[in-house]
Amino acid sequence: MDTAASAPLIDPFARPITYLRVSVTDRCDFRCVYCMAEHMQFLPKAELLTLEELNRLCSAFVGLGVRKLRITGGEPLVRRGIMQFFRGMSRHLGKGLDELTLTTNGSQLGRFASELVDCGVRRVNVSLDTLDADKFAAITRWGRLPQVLDGIRAAQAAGLRVKINAVALKGVNDDELFDLVRWCADEGHDLTFIEVMPMGDLGNEDRLDQYWPLSDLRARLAERFTLTELAERTGGPARYVRLNETGQKIGFITPLTHNFCESCNRVRVTCTGELFMCLGQEDNADLRAPLRASPDDTLLRQTIRDAIARKPKGHDFDYSRQSVTGQMTRHMSHTGG
Quick one: which of 132, 148, 143, 146 has its CA closest to 31? Answer: 143
Does 70 show up as a binding residue in the annotation?
yes
d(CA 267, CA 14): 15
Does 94 show up as a binding residue in the annotation?
no
Quick one: which of 125, 113, 102, 115 has its CA closest to 154? Answer: 113
What does pTM read for this prediction?
Answer: 0.87
Domain ranges of the chain: 17-335
Strands 239-243 and 123-127: unpaired
Does 163 show up as a binding residue in the annotation?
yes
Does 268 show up as a binding residue in the annotation?
yes
Give the CA dihedral 212, 249, 336, 81, nearest 10 degrees: -140
Does 114 show up as a binding residue in the annotation?
no
Question: Using N-to-C axis directions, what is the helix angle for 145-158 and 109-118, rounded to 10°?
Answer: 20
- Position 38 scores a pLDDT of 78
Does 271 show up as a binding residue in the annotation?
no
Maximum alpha-carbon separation in the chain = 59
Does 21 show up as a binding residue in the annotation?
yes
CA 204 to chain centre: 23
Does 32 show up as a binding residue in the annotation?
yes
Residues 6+ apart with CB under 8 A from 296: none
Q: What is the architecture of the domain spanning 17-335?
A: Alpha-Beta Barrel (3.20)
Strands 239-243 and 227-230: antiparallel
d(CA 236, CA 18): 10
Quick one: which of 198, 126, 139 has its CA closest to 165? Answer: 126
Does 207 show up as a binding residue in the annotation?
no
The amino acid present at 287, given as its one-letter code, is L
d(CA 293, CA 300): 9
Does 288 show up as a binding residue in the annotation?
no
Q: What is the pLDDT along the chain (337 residues), one digit of tens a residue?
A: 455 667 899 999 999 999 999 999 999 988 888 887 877 788 898 999 999 999 999 999 999 999 999 999 999 999 999 999 999 999 999 999 999 999 999 999 999 999 999 999 999 999 999 999 999 999 999 899 999 999 999 999 999 999 999 999 999 999 999 999 999 999 999 999 998 865 444 444 455 678 899 999 999 999 999 999 998 766 567 899 999 999 999 999 986 544 567 778 999 999 999 999 987 778 899 999 999 999 999 999 999 999 999 998 876 544 444 444 444 454 455 566 5
d(CA 279, CA 242): 28
One-character DSSP codes across 35-54: TS-TT--PPPGGGSPPHHHH
